A and B are shown apart, each in its own frame.
Chain A
Amino acid sequence: MAAGHAHPLYRAGDSVVHRLPAHVKIVGAFVFVLAVVATPREAFAVFGLQFLLLVGVWIAARIPPGWLAARALIEAPFVVLAVLLPFFAVGPRVEWWGMSLSVDGLLAGWNILVKGTLGVLVSVTLAGTTPLRDLVSGLSRLRVPAMVCVIATLMLRYLEVIAAEARRMRLARISRGHDPRFAWQLGATVRSVGALFLRSYERGERVHLAMLSRGYTGTMPAFTTASASTATWAAALLPAAGAVLFAASAYWAW
């Protein structure tokens, strides 16, 4: 996963959504998610409409539903929380199939479930249609401090190197008979985490020297990114604007 190439969630393509400038997409994703989170939990229909907006984006991006569903599973631990809420929450209770469930807990569970699911679908859509390099340059376009962007770029560039180093250490341990199953067998694994830190840190020192010898003066050359026209902004923010409108309509109706 070198910078500029693919990352695990990226799905190469050449759709309208893929071609949009990254900073516009990042803003759109954040606005969309905030609109979803701000929607009152009783506004069941609004969540449906917001989902339909996302379906529109997926059609435009030509992302198949199965691909999305598999990647949205990352959210699973929070589904457990949502399922537990009706049993543990306080307030008036209802009987359902012999179980006593809290009304407030049911709504609170639904709230986390629907908002978490829509949120993770938005994140997966953003990650799926935006290559790494564009994401970081999009962040710099959004006035994220240059220092943060440079650190992020270097981190992404060396992540695969460090991860491969960790894999080789694991292979070396296993080939010497290491078979960790219990917490008390941690020792060897943890010692290699220490070694991994040392190798990362020392690699950082070498990278710094390499940068200095190539004329690095403490600041990196600025990211060059194309700006977006008003029309592009308008088109890209269409789903987000729709989500905001639907959320606002819920406040009117309730």
Chain B
Amino acid sequence: MEPHTGLVAMHMSDGIVNAPISVLFALIAVLGLAFCVSRARRDLDDRTAPMAGLVAAFVFAVQMLNFPVLPGVSGHLLGGALCAILVGPYVGALCVSIVLLLQALLFADGGLSALGTNITNMALIGTFVGYGVAVAMRRIATRSRGGLLLTAFVAAWVNTVVASLGFVLEYALGGQGLALGTVFGLMTGFHALIGIGEGIITALTVGAVAAARPDLVHLTRTSSPSLQIKTTGVRS
């Protein structure tokens, strides 16, 4: 958890995907982002700016924290599924996108031409697929604490693996050198392992939030019964 020490690029650099495909995915990212902006406003109304700003700061800070994996080896959280479960897919995708945009502009983490592909993979595909999985498992998630942790784990694992499939798709369209099968095997295999770490951290974080402020977990929030007015038996 040393911020900034040994900070290395975790996002795609320039030159991995060719120019036309980079531009294509930049357009997809812009459209997706525009959609998220309009829906995030509906989720949070006039609270959008401060809430999303602070959640984005949280994502940024969490990505700077390194977790121990083995002595000398540490990983950090991507946070797509975590955000989706805690604040919903639209605010979540928006926050992760803004973090990626500023990492590229301020920290040179992720190439400028690869910004579209990075946002598409991690912010859009990752967050929405993670959320989709979580919604599909909502019944399990609301049943017990273990169910919620399991849901968060599966959502984060699927989020990580599917985000890497986004990379495979982009590489298939605009990459060169490796046979597609090799890329597929390397990326999914590697990310299936990373996803376990992401899943454990996401599950435990969601568990910690749910224990202290269950009302803040977006995924299970809608399932809470609405306010009911009950009358007493006493008549006036």
| A positions within 8 Å CB-CB of B | 7-9, 26, 29-30, 33-34, 36-38, 41, 71-78, 81, 85, 88-90, 102, 104-105, 107-109, 111-116, 118-120, 122-124, 126-127, 132, 135, 145, 147-148, 150-159, 161-163, 165-167, 170, 180-183, 185-187, 189-191, 193-198, 200-201, 203-205, 207-208, 211-212, 216-218, 220
Chain A contact residues: helix, strand, loop or mixed: helix
13 contacts between A and B (CB under 8 A): A33-B14, A34-B22, A37-B18, A88-B182, A89-B178, A116-B111, A132-B106, A145-B34, A152-B56, A158-B53, A162-B58, A200-B61, A218-B45
B143 within 8 A of A: no
Given known contacts A151-B49, A204-B47, what 9 new A-B pairs fall within 8 Å (CB)? A26-B105, A36-B15, A73-B8, A77-B9, A85-B177, A127-B105, A153-B53, A163-B3, A217-B46
A163 to B59, CA, bound (A): 10
Cβ–Cβ contact A33 & B112, under 8 A: yes
Q: Which residues of A contact B216 (CB under 8 A)?
A: 198, 201
Q: Which of A108, A151, A186 contacts B176 (CB 8 A)?
A: A108
Known: A34-B19, A74-B8, A85-B177. A123 touches B105 (CB 8 A): yes
B137 within 8 A of A: no
Cβ–Cβ contact A151 & B46, under 8 A: no
Q: Which residues of B contact A112 (CB under 8 A)?
A: 13, 15-16
Q: Nearest Cβ in chain B — how far from A9, in angstroms? A: 6
Cβ–Cβ contact B104 & A123, under 8 A: yes
Cβ–Cβ contact B112 & A204, under 8 A: no
Q: Which of A33, A36, A158 contacts B54 (CB 8 A)?
A: A158
B41 within 8 A of A: yes
Cβ–Cβ contact B15 & A7, under 8 A: no
A118 to B77, CA, bound (A): 28
A211 to B50, CA, bound (A): 9
Q: Which residues of A contact B233 (CB under 8 A)?
A: none
B1 within 8 A of A: yes
Chain B contact residues: helix, strand, loop or mixed: helix
Q: Which residues of B contact A135 (CB under 8 A)?
A: 102, 105-106
Q: Which residues of B contact A158 (CB under 8 A)?
A: 53-54, 57
Q: Nearest Cβ in chain A — how far from B203, in angstroms? A: 9
Scoring A26, A102, A204 by chain B CB atoms within 10 A of each residue's CB, the highest score goes to A204
Chain B 44-69, CB within 8 Å of chain A: the 1/0 string?
A: 01111111111111101110110111
B227 within 8 A of A: no
Cβ–Cβ contact A186 & B49, under 8 A: no
Cβ–Cβ contact A186 & B102, under 8 A: no
Cβ–Cβ contact A193 & B205, under 8 A: yes
| B positions within 8 Å CB-CB of A | 1, 3-4, 7-10, 13-16, 18-19, 22-23, 33-34, 37, 40-41, 45-58, 60-62, 64-65, 67-71, 77, 86, 94-95, 98-99, 101-102, 104-109, 111-114, 176-179, 182, 197, 200-201, 204-209, 211-213, 216
Cβ–Cβ contact B4 & A147, under 8 A: no
Q: Which residues of B contact A162 (CB under 8 A)?
A: 54, 57-58, 60-61
Cβ–Cβ contact A216 & B46, under 8 A: yes
A108 to B65, CA, bound (A): 33
Known: A116-B15, A194-B208, A196-B61. A7 touches B113 (CB 8 A): no
A193 to B176, CA, bound (A): 39
Q: Nearest Cβ in chain B — how far from A159, in angstroms? A: 5
A189 to B90, CA, bound (A): 27
Q: Which residues of B contact A152 (CB under 8 A)?
A: 53, 56, 98, 101-102
Scoring B4, B98, B101, B109 by chain A CB atoms within 10 A of each residue's CB, the highest score goes to B98
Known: A111-B15, A111-B176, A163-B3. A119 touches B112 (CB 8 A): yes
Q: Which residues of B contact A208 (CB under 8 A)?
A: 46-47, 50-51
Cβ–Cβ contact B69 & A198, under 8 A: no
Q: Which of A104, A105, A194 contacts B212 (CB 8 A)?
A: A194
Cβ–Cβ contact A185 & B176, under 8 A: no
Cβ–Cβ contact B71 & A108, under 8 A: no
Cβ–Cβ contact B213 & A198, under 8 A: yes
Q: Which of A127, A150, A200 contacts B49 (CB 8 A)?
A: A150
Q: Which residues of B contact A37 (CB under 8 A)?
A: 14-15, 18-19, 22, 113
Known: A26-B105, A36-B14, A155-B99. A163 touches B64 (CB 8 A): yes
